[in-house]
Structure 1
Amino acid sequence: MIIRPEQMAALAGAAESNFQNRLGEHLRQFFPEQYGNLDEAGLQEVVRQSIERARAYGITSERDICKYADLMSAFGRDFDTNTATAWASSILNDQSLGDPGAKVNRLAQQALGQARSLGSEAQQLEARVRTAGDAAAVGWQAVTKRLSEALKHAA
């Protein structure tokens, strides 16, 4: 059996489309506040941006791209360039971590630590100032839990 280049391209396109759909479902499941009410076109744009940005860092496996999308969902679409999350840029641009999977794993570990820290800080704020701290504490605790679960179930 001979597979022609155009057949290979069609198969690759179908595989990519399938992955994009699974990634969109994953994001809706684990980040419902961000994506639950987003229409299909909006969700597909988020998926497309996640894949594009991950691949720009050499991240190509579906599982690692999914983890990258989880981090974007938890910390913002620009988490890789935002000064508030400079740790992410540092890891992504660390040449000593040649393997993209190692970078993603380091990112995930650091992100969970950051999310836990933010949750702890919000709880402390809540204890001091009942009004503003209340929503922030619950928000970061929920984000930490969702991020942890999402990373475990990455596509």
Structure 2
Amino acid sequence: MKMTGIEKRAARMARNQSGLDMNLVALIDIFTILIFFLMSSTGIEVLTNSKAVKLPSSIAEKTPRQTIVVAVSETDIVVDGRRVASVAEANAAKDDLIPGLKAELDLLASRQVVGADKDANTTAVTIMGDKSIPYSLLRKVMYTSARANFTEIAFAVNRKT
């Protein structure tokens, strides 16, 4: 029995067609979950840096951890995204205590105990100070943080590569 050209083609197509159909939606879901897992388990935490604060560089190897962030730019003092005082007010103060910063840190300290684990981070604060701010202002921020019972103070820097 001789097959025609069309029959040969149909037989070849049937022979080459396998029963393997891949569901790409499920495959994309798996890769998305895998990428999310890998990104969340790297152990690297990055502090969000505002464009107003230019951090100094350092060769420090210790990675940051999740704490309350006090950002000190050339014009404002901001605690976790909320402006609490201006640099001009802080510099004009006769003593080292910055009232707006102290009130905000006291408020955050009272809230923090509920959701935090009892061992860590309850007395920790990270200062993101612009590299051009004077030491006297940095000292006032550290003094105010210590008066609000945040005794563990860290400084945010850019890592030199």
Into which bin does the TM-score normalised by the smaller protein fall? under 0.3
Q: Which has the higher strand share?
A: 2
TM norm structure 2 = 0.27
Q: Which has the higher helix share?
A: 1
Instruction: Flag the structure with larger Rg.
Output: 2
TM norm structure 1 = 0.27
Identify the structure with bigger relative contact order (alpha carbons < 8 Å, sequence gap 6+).
2
